[in-house]
């Protein structure tokens, strides 16, 4: 306990005057009982025990006197002829005397120096706490785990695959040196000469894009509105040069439609050149 040393010195101070008047056995018994009663009374700090010659002592001291068989009157006469107070703390025991010349006698004090507080210094690099692990986004967590869990054999296979790929690309670049340039800049690219445009094989047929504009039909041949002629596609216009209309047909057929009358020539339409007319018999 914290009061063990201070109670020991307080019991010695109170029983020292009895050594010359009382048997040592009684003094030792009185010290044992006095220690136990003082321990029970030391519930708060400090413990103050007032002593007066004409009054009973404090309860812990009076109980020890009765238990050891010592007369309190004789004990007080040997202890002090005047009033005083014994103050017991965990670190000191002192007797405070009152009267015309009040003074204090230090019975015991703890001389053990208190441990000095450790100086606050900067932590050395070796004892600094480990830094927080770098946070990795979820999108890159799988790649990092895959990179950390790959075996040595897998790493060797990847290195071999990369070397084979580099060799393959090197061979391709050498075989296509005339087409592919090893330099990534525009000035180093080599462009092959453009091939000559081939001549058209079918010169008689004109393409839909280069076909000439259709000729406006005469009133004698057709009187259909322009809205109907607009439905022909570009492919039909390219074949208009091969259509031959028989001009010998003069009959006109009228068709009634909503908004007017349309007249067309009756007869057939033939594709190809007109047949050669036979010479009249002479």
Q: What pLDDT is stored for residue 197 in this prediction?
A: 55
- Copy the structure tokens of residue 202: 């079918």
In this model, does residue 75 exceed pLDDT 50? yes
CA distances from 180 to 40, 95, 162, 194 (A): 104, 109, 22, 16
42-71 pLDDT, tens digit per residue, is 876 789 999 998 899 999 999 999 999 999
Task: Spell out the domain ranges in the chain.
Answer: 4-109
- Looking at residues 197-223, what average pLDDT do you find? 50
Question: What pLDDT sits at residue 89?
Answer: 93
> 6-20, 125-139, 154-168, 264-278: which has the highest mean pLDDT?
6-20
Long-range CB pairs of 109-117, under 8 A, 24+ apart, other chains included: 110/5
pLDDT tens track for 94-140: 999 988 889 999 999 988 766 666 666 555 445 555 555 566 666 66
pLDDT at 249 over 70: no
CB contact at 8 A, 237 and 208? yes
Long-range contacts of 34-42 (CB under 8 A, 24+ apart): 34/60, 34/61, 34/64, 35/7, 35/8, 35/11, 37/61, 37/63, 37/64, 38/3, 38/7, 38/10, 38/11, 38/88, 39/1, 39/3, 39/7, 42/3, 42/7, 42/88
- Per-residue model confidence (pLDDT) at position 166: 80
Q: How confident is the model at residue 163 (pLDDT cuts 50, 70, 90)?
A: confident
pTM: 0.42
Cα–Cα separations (whole angstroms), residue 93 to 3, 36, 52: 10, 17, 19
Band of pLDDT at residue 12, cut at 50, 70 and 90: very high
Please say if the pLDDT value at position 272 is more than 90: no
Indicate whether 179 pLDDT > 60. no
Strands 103-109 and 92-97: antiparallel
Which pair of tokens denotes residue 165? Answer: 């790929």
Q: What is the mean pLDDT of residues 216-223?
A: 49
Domain 4-109 bears CATH identifier 3.40.50.1980: no
Predicted pLDDT at 34? 95
Across 188-216, average pLDDT: 53
């Amino acid at each position: 306990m914290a009061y063990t040393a201070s109670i020991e010195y307080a019991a010695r101070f109170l029983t020292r005057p009895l050594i010359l008047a009382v048997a040592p056995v009684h003094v030792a018994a009185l010290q044992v009982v006095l220690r136990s009663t003082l321990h029970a009374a030391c519930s708060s700090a400090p413990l103050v025990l007032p002593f007066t010659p004409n009054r009973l002592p404090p309860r812990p001291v009076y109980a020890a006197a009765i238990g050891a068989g010592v007369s309190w009157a004789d004990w007080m006469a040997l202890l002090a002829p005047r009033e005083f107070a014994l103050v017991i703390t965990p670190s000191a025991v002192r007797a405070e005397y009152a009267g015309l010349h009040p003074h204090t006698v230090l019975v015991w004090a703890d001389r053990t120096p208190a441990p000095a507080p450790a100086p606050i210094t900067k932590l050395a690099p070796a004892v600094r706490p480990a830094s927080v692990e770098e946070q990795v986004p979820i999108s890159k967590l799988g790649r990092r785990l895959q990179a950390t869990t790959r075996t040595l054999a897998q790493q060797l296979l990847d290195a071999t695959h990369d070397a084979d790929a580099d060799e393959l690309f090197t061979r391709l670049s050498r075989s296509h040196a005339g087409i592919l340039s090893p330099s990534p800049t525009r000035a180093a690219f080599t462009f092959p000469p453009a091939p000559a445009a081939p001549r058209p094989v079918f010169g008689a047929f004109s393409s839909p894009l280069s076909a000439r504009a259709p000729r406006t039909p005469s009133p004698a041949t057709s009187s259909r509105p322009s809205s109907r002629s607009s439905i022909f596609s570009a492919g039909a216009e390219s074949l208009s040069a091969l259509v031959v209309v028989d001009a010998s047909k003069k009959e006109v057929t009228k068709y009634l439609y909503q908004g007017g009358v349309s007249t067309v020539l009756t007869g057939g339409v033939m594709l190809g050149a007109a047949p050669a007319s036979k010479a009249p018999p002479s």
